[in-house]
Amino acid sequence: MSRERDKSGPSTRAVHGGERTTRSRVSDSLTTPIVQTAAFWFRDTQEVIAYQEGRHASFEYGRYGNPTTRVVEAKLCELEGGADCVVSASGMNSVTTMLLALVPQNGHVVTTHDCYRRTRQFMQTVMPKMGVRCTVIDPSDLHALERAVADGANLFFSESPTNPYLRCVDVSAVAERCRAKGTVVVIDSTLATPVNQQALALGADVVLHSVTKYLAGHNDVLAGALVGKESFIRPIRELHGVLGGVIDPHAAYLVLRGMKTLSLRVARANENAAAIARFLEQHDKIERVHYPGLPSHPDHAVARRQMGGGFGGMVSFEVRGGLETASKLIDALRVPYIAPSMGGVESLVEQPTVISYWDKSPEERAQIGIRDNLVRYSCGVEDTDDLIRDLEQALERL
């Protein structure tokens, strides 16, 4: 990798990163081929030995690596500025493998209260079986973090922005406090993407992505990734080979195809979300808007410092009223699909109470901060004016 390419912008890296330097040249194919195989063959025993000793570059078995997948990993390294990357079959597989690899038995994990439900579920119900404690803090409470780190925390994990309230962790401040005590810092940048935020440059040790979302970008593939320092990715890759959460080569190809337009899609999603947030904040039928690009957001100053590319494509907001009012608004929308997930070219909308927390009582939802009037709107790449007009007509029906 030359110095000139190192200085290239995110769009150039999204298109070309890893493609020319990592993949094998097959029939002068412009796109990276799908290497659809479960195993790789060797010419003789000496070649096997050379492979085992690191003298012959190849692959052995699909669970330990694949040429198509390796290009995805190389591209993500360039986008995030990381030394190594491991891609897996889903974002949750990446989360669980990372936690199992980096947190010791009887260890201590720190996370934030606004967190993807399944991540919190794993930390609070599965990891305690291995004696692991979980401390939950406010994303901006650095004093609570200092106390947890002093109490021997092994790993700090948070999304930034978080889901669904889009809280932004001050990554540099967190990294400074954790580094002094040897606490590993892992930041889930799924909502930010490498276009909007460079968490490794801010001090994180590992960055996690649900590749399913903005990186793949077309709502047609499941994948996850971890990027960071080689010393942290190595044990994750080793455990990944044991647990077997392997991405299919065809899915890896779809991720490569999607990432080529990452910067373009994220720029449009940023634009759409910012416009929707401003519109909703002025509307008398909206109680509150959660978007880090708004000065009213509690972490706006942090977001301005560390989200150089934009504030993301997701907006959460609370409708004046309750569960039924929010449902009525969602049902009146004509452009977005009612669906979970985010980051695809289609806009999606959901009511977290209904789609993610319907099995919880109102008291349980209130305890974890999920309000029944909360709506999560994940912007796609449609025309901004169309999205605003659609929201206007839906709000008129309330």
Burial group, residue 371, by CB count within 10 angstroms (0-12, 13-18, 19+): buried
Instruction: Give the CA distances from residue 287 to residues 29, 63, 318, 389, in Å, rounded to whole numbers and listed in that order.
Output: 54, 49, 5, 19
Instruction: Give the CA distances from residue 355 to residues 228, 273, 344, 370, in Å, rounded to whole numbers and listed in that order.
Output: 33, 21, 18, 12
H/E segment holding residue 77:
helix 67-80
Show the DSSP H helices in 81-213 as ranges. Answer: 91-102, 117-121, 142-150, 171-179, 193-196, 199-202
At residue 301, what is the residue type?
A
Helix (H, G, I), strand (E, B) or coil at 290: strand
Helix (H, G, I), strand (E, B) or coil at 56: coil
Gyration radius of the chain's alpha carbons: 21
Question: Which residue carries 């109490």 as its tokens?
Answer: 151
User: What amino acid positions are annotated as catalytic residues?
Assistant: 63, 116, 188, 213
Our CA dihedral for 183, 189, 192, 196, rounded to 10 degrees, sits at 70
DSSP assigned state of 247: P
